[in-house]
C-alpha cells in the first residue's frame, strides 16, 4: 500500500457490528476528512444471536459469511475502504459468551496465543503506520471474551510495533461518560411509549461506562451526516441490530440510545489541546500529533 494520507487511524474490534455501535461517527468523520481509516475485526461473530426470523436459520460458518457481507455494507455506509479480518477469514472464530463451553473450542479467539495474534496485527501496523489506535478497555467494555482478547492483542501489538520501530503515537479505549448515558436513558424512558420497542435496557448494559473525569476525548456527531452514516452502518448489521432512531435494540430486545457523540479515554501518548467548550476534552483523536508524510509499507 502506497501514498497513504498523513493521518491514519486503526481500530481493533472483536466482531462485525462492534465498530459501528462504538465508533461509527468517528470512522465516518475521519474517512470524510480524508484520513486513512483501517478496521481490523478479529472474528466473524459466528456465534451471534440472529434477530430477523427470516435469517434465523443462519449459524456457525454460514452466519459468519453473512455477517462478513453485513460488515462490507456497513463500511460502505461509513466511507471506509480498508477493513480486514485478523489473520484472514476464519483464522479466529467467535468464542461465545464468557463461561460457555464455546470458550474452549480450538481456533476460537479466546484460545489464541496473544503474542502470535498480536504479531498478525503488527503486520497491519507496519503497513499502515497509524498514529492512532482505538480498542476496548481491559474488560472488553462488558466482559465478552472476544472483546477482552481483542484488547490484549491490540495492546500487545502496540508494544511489539514500538520495538520494531513502528510506534503508535496515541492509543484510546472506547468509553461512555456516566452523566451522558444517564441523560440519554432518562430521555429513553420518557419516549419509550412512542417507540417500536417495549422495554429499555439498563445503564449497566452499555459497554465502557465510566465516571466523567476519565473521559479525555469526545467526537461529536449530533445532527451531522456522520451520525446518519452511523445509523446506516448499524442498520447494515441486520442480523444483530434493529434501529429506530434515536434508539436501537440488540437480540435481547432491550432499547438503548444510539449515541451520536463518541467518547474515549487516552491511555497511551500525549494529550492534545482540549476544547474549552467541552470541559477541556480533546475534540480530535489526532490532537497533538503532527500529520506524517504519506507513506506505504515498511521495508
Per-residue burial over 251-279, b if 16 or more Cβ lie within 10 Å, else e, is eeeebbbbbbbbbbbbbbbeebebeeeee
Is 15 known as a binding-site position? yes
Cell, residue 130: 497509524
Sequence-distant (≥ 6) Cβ neighbours of residue 209 within 8 angstroms: 175, 176, 177, 178, 181, 203
Cα–Cα distance between 265 and 218 in angstroms, integer? 9
Task: From 207, 11, 14, select the one nearest 109 (Cα to Cα).
Answer: 14
Cell, residue 243: 434501529
Cell, residue 8: 491514519
Is 94 known as a binding-site position? no
Is 220 known as a binding-site position? no
Cα–Cα distance between 18 and 235 in angstroms, integer? 12
* Known binding-site positions: 15, 18, 147
* Known binding-site positions for Zn(2+): 15, 18, 147
Amino acid at each position: 500500500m502506497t501514498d497513504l494520507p498523513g493521518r491514519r487511524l486503526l481500530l481493533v474490534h472483536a466482531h462485525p457490528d462492534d465498530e459501528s455501535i462504538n465508533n461509527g461517527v468517528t470512522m465516518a468523520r475521519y474517512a470524510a476528512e480524508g484520513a486513512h481509516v483501517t478496521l481490523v475485526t478479529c472474528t466473524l461473530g459466528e456465534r451471534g444471536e440472529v434477530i430477523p426470523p427470516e435469517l434465523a436459520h443462519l449459524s456457525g460458518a454460514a452466519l459468519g459469511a453473512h455477517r462478513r457481507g453485513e460488515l462490507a455494507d456497513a463500511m460502505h455506509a461509513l466511507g471506509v475502504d480498508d477493513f480486514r479480518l485478523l489473520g484472514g477469514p476464519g483464522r479466529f472464530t467467535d468464542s461465545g459468551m464468557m463461561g460457555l463451553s464455546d470458550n474452549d473450542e480450538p481456533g476460537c479467539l479466546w484460545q489464541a496465543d496473544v503474542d502470535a495474534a498480536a504479531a498478525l496485527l503488527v503486520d497491519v501496523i507496519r503497513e499502515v503506520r497509524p498514529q492512532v489506535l482505538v480498542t476496548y478497555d481491559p474488560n472488553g467494555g462488558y466482559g465478552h471474551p472476544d472483546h477482552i482478547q481483542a484488547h490484549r492483542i491490540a495492546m500487545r501489538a502496540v508494544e511489539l510495533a514500538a520495538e520494531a520501530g513502528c510506534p503508535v503515537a496515541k492509543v484510546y479505549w472506547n468509553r461512555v461518560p456516566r452523566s451522558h448515558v444517564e441523560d440519554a436513558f432518562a430521555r429513553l424512558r420518557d419516549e419509550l411509549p412512542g417507540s417500536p420497542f417495549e422495554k429499555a435496557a439498563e445503564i449497566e448494559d452499555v459497554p465502557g461506562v465510566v465516571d466523567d473525569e476519565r473521559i479525555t476525548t469526545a467526537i461529536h456527531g449530533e445532527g451531522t451526516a456522520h451520525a446518519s452514516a452511523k445509523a446506516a452502518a448499524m442498520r447494515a448489521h441486520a442480523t444483530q441490530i434493529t434501529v429506530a432512531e434515536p434508539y436501537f435494540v440488540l437480540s435481547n430486545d432491550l432499547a438503548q440510545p444510539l449515541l451520536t457523540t463518541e467518547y474515549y479515554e487516552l491511555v497511551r501518548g500525549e494529550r492534545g489541546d482540549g476544547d474549552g467548550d467541552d470541559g477541556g476534552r480533546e475534540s480530535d483523536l489526532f490532537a497533538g500529533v503532527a500529520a506524517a508524510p504519506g507513506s506505504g509499507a515498511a521495508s
